[in-house]
Amino acid sequence: MNIETAMVLSTERAYEGALITWFHAPGLTANADPGQFVMVHCSADGGDPMFARAFSYHRIDGDRFALLYAVVGRGTAWLAGRQRGDQVRMYGPLGNGFRLPQEAGNLLLVGGGVGIAPLVDTAERAITAGHHVVAMMGARDADHLLPASAWPKEVEYVVVTEDGSAGPAGFVTQHLGKYQEWASRIYACGPNPMFASLAEVLRFNGRRQSPEILMEENMPCGWGMCYGCAIFTKHGVRLCCKDGPRFNLFDVY
């Protein structure tokens, strides 16, 4: 884990209510795995908000990295207001990220809402490693979807919206269809109800896909000291930040 002051490079709109901010911070990009996260102090003086916020790596490019986040509170509003050249205190990489197969395979990535954030970096690494990738995103409507241009051109991008304004109507887990049969491995990130629904769909499909998920919990410290992100698994209580955020789907649901 490295503690570093990252410099803001740029901020751009990802989709309605969400932004992508790029940072320069060499110590936070080296050896980061897909699905790991950084803890960001979203205040200038460590005051309000007091605790750092956890953000998954969205993309990594050399000594630069991007975070994708929805502006939902004081911390993310402060982060969204940073300008080029501003400095932000962070520490990471933290947690256990996704494990990509060594042999080339068919990988299905499933994201719900801002849970799509770590899946772009995952897709980029998977394509580089020779895997075939389908990425599925679920959102409330077309305005809350990550655009297709955000993904590597080799990725097949499938969208589902609750209101049917883009792609089929409903929840993303209702439309896995042929993709769950095609996939040799499945990776997902999103809200807990999405994971519960995903487990229902995959539990009895007769395939050994070992689905991996990135859990979203409040992480005040990020490295296992505060026990604020404890979750119940079939193997007992685990800490999302230290033991996760990667878990086997069926160990939790």
pLDDT per residue as tens digits for the range 187-196: 999 999 999 9
**Residue 11, pLDDT score:** 98
Q: In the predicted model, is pLDDT for residue 61 greater than 90?
A: yes
Among residues 214, 200, 3, the alpha carbon closest in space to that of 122 is found at 214
DSSP state of 206: -
Q: How far apart are CA 136 and CA 131, in angstroms?
A: 16
Three-class secondary structure of residue 110 per DSSP:
strand
User: Which range (117-131, 166-180, 182-196, 198-212) has the least confidence?
Assistant: 198-212
**Residue 46, pLDDT score:** 62
With respect to residue 19, please indicate whether it lies within any of the assigned structural domains.
yes
Q: What is the mean pLDDT of the chain?
A: 95
Any bridge partners for residue 231, and if so which?
A: 238
Torsion of CA 120, 124, 229, 47, to 10 degrees: -70
With respect to residue 74, please indicate whether it lies within any of the assigned structural domains.
yes
Average pLDDT over residues 206-232: 89
CA angle 66, 173, 143 (to 5 degrees): 50
Contact 163, 190 (CB under 8 A): no
Average pLDDT over residues 42-52: 78
Same domain as 72, residue 7: yes
CATH of the domain at 65: 2.40.30.10
With respect to residue 39, please indicate whether it lies within any of the assigned structural domains.
yes
| Phi, psi at 67, each rounded to 5° | -120, 135
Same domain as 82, residue 149: no
Same domain as 205, residue 112: yes
Percentage of the chain exceeding pLDDT 70: 99
Same domain as 119, residue 204: yes
CATH of the domain at 115: 3.40.50.80
With respect to residue 35, please indicate whether it lies within any of the assigned structural domains.
yes
Final residue in a domain of this structure, among 50, 67, 94: 94
> How many independent structural domains does the chain possess?
2
Name the strands in the sheet holding 2-15, side by side, starting at the edge strand that comes first in the sequence: 53-56, 37-40, 87-94, 2-15, 18-24, 64-70, 59-61
| Phi, psi at 155, each rounded to 5° | -85, 135
pLDDT band at 249 (very low <50, low <70, confident <90, very high): very high
Domain that residue 80 falls in? 2-94
- pTM listed for this prediction: 0.95
Same domain as 75, residue 36: yes
With respect to residue 66, please indicate whether it lies within any of the assigned structural domains.
yes
Same domain as 128, residue 68: no
Q: In the predicted model, is pLDDT for residue 230 greater than 80?
A: yes
With respect to residue 37, please indicate whether it lies within any of the assigned structural domains.
yes
Same domain as 181, residue 144: yes
**Residue 207, pLDDT score:** 77
Long-range contacts of 174-182 (CB under 8 A, 24+ apart): 174/201, 175/136, 176/108, 176/110, 176/136, 176/201, 176/202, 179/108, 179/134, 179/136, 180/108, 180/205, 180/207, 180/209, 181/205, 181/207, 182/106, 182/108, 182/134
**Residue 84, pLDDT score:** 98
pLDDT per residue as tens digits for the range 93-138: 999 999 999 999 999 999 999 999 999 999 999 999 999 999 999 9
